[in-house]
Amino acid sequence: MSRQVKDNIIKGLIYASSAFTVVILAVIIGFILIKGLPRINMDFLTNSYEDKTTYVTIGATADGHTKIQDNQCVSEALGATLSVGEEGLVVEKIEKASLLKAGVDGTGAVYEIKKGDVITKLGSCQVERELKNGTSAEEVLEESTKAIQENTGKMKVKVVRRGGGIFPMIVTTIYMVGLSLVIAGPIGILAAIYLNEYAKKGKMMTIIHFAIENLAGIPSIIYGLFGSLVFVQMMKLQYSILAGALTISIILLPTIITTTEETLKTIPKTYRESSLGLGATKLQTITKVVLPNAISGILVAVLLSIGRIVGESAALLLTAGTVSQIPSRLYGNSASGATLTIKAYMLMKEENDLTTACAIGVILLTIVIVINVSSKLVTKYFLNSKGEKA
């Protein structure tokens, strides 16, 4: 076989491998988009996942004067357009002066009923029960009107705010990203500064680098088991975002340390020598000369870390929990919360809801793409800035 034929074969294999990679990527992204995009809307992004039931008292203004009058139909009395759904009266449109905007919940706080909410009980009228008993829409509206006429003062309304959204998971993911970076960022950057600027070459340096490389290769489930044992049980943080963030911080350290250290190595030694020659101390040289010139690489390390946090699942499953709520504390009770990846996993495992899981996948893909583009823009910006200064 001639050399030219061998070169052509190798070139063909290279092209075929590249094409295969692109096709696989396109198929994966296409599948996620086709399945997930129809599910995404504003309610999906802003609603809670679980339905929320609230008892609201309506019928009086802030000064206590009655607003509900006799001989008014239910929509006219409430100042809203209502339709009969499967579970109750669905709020389709709310007028500016609607009573539904000035209701008060059980705690005494103002609870504004919004478009899309479902009224399942209106005074003495059990709307939900009437519908389940086969009562027609017209009869339900008549019963609701009677309830309005019977209550010319304040009236209690049972409202169900539909869930099915991922807002709690978005907030929990943001919490996890911020808390993990606050913990891992300074530790990783300072460790990289020590390794590159202070540590002397030798067996200890070899051992440290070996440990960092092995930390990067450990499966995340191992980190999850460690976090569950140490942070959740031994430190009694329970399933919480703090336990999850501490676990994720350990996972991030190899990426931050390695990327930052490699960036510091690219800073010419002449910069350091010039600074020291002008009388600056070692610390002043690092803070005033080295770090400003390495800021692009450090930012890229942080951006890559964000992508790792957003995509992590196994470690958080064992430390942060799977509750679809916004954590109200860092640790302890009510501190557990599911991130986007955890929720996607639970949807497929427990509910077999492929559509919603793919919709979350679309959000995750968008975040990853934004992070990758941002890292390239950051690098390009600082390279251009250095070129202009030169």
Over the stretch 236-284, which tens digit does the pLDDT of each residue have? Answer: 999 999 999 999 999 999 999 999 999 999 888 888 888 888 888 888 9
Confirm if 161 and 117 have CB atoms less than 8 A apart: yes
Same domain flag for 107 and 247: no
- Asked if the structure places residue 44 within a domain, the reply is no
Same domain flag for 179 and 301: yes
- Asked if the structure places residue 215 within a domain, the reply is yes
Same domain flag for 262 and 331: yes
pLDDT surpassing 70 at residue 336: yes
Same domain flag for 28 and 117: no
Same domain flag for 279 and 185: yes
- Asked if the structure places residue 144 within a domain, the reply is yes
Number of domains in the chain: 3
pLDDT surpassing 90 at residue 227: yes
Q: What are phi and psi of 30, to 5 degrees?
A: -60, -45
- Asked if the structure places residue 189 within a domain, the reply is yes
CATH number at residue 263: 1.10.3720.10
Q: Which residue has the tokens 């934004």?
A: 370
- Which strand (E) or helix (H) includes residue 80? strand 80-84
* 153-165: pLDDT as tens digits: 678 888 998 888 9
What pTM did the predictor assign? 0.81
Same domain flag for 331 and 246: yes
- Which strand (E) or helix (H) includes residue 287? none
- Asked if the structure places residue 45 within a domain, the reply is no
Look at residue 61 in the predicted model and tell me its pLDDT. 46
- Asked if the structure places residue 66 within a domain, the reply is yes
Of 85 and 175, the structure prediction assigns the larger pLDDT to 175
Domain that holds residue 322: 167-389
Q: Which residue has the tokens 């800073």?
A: 267
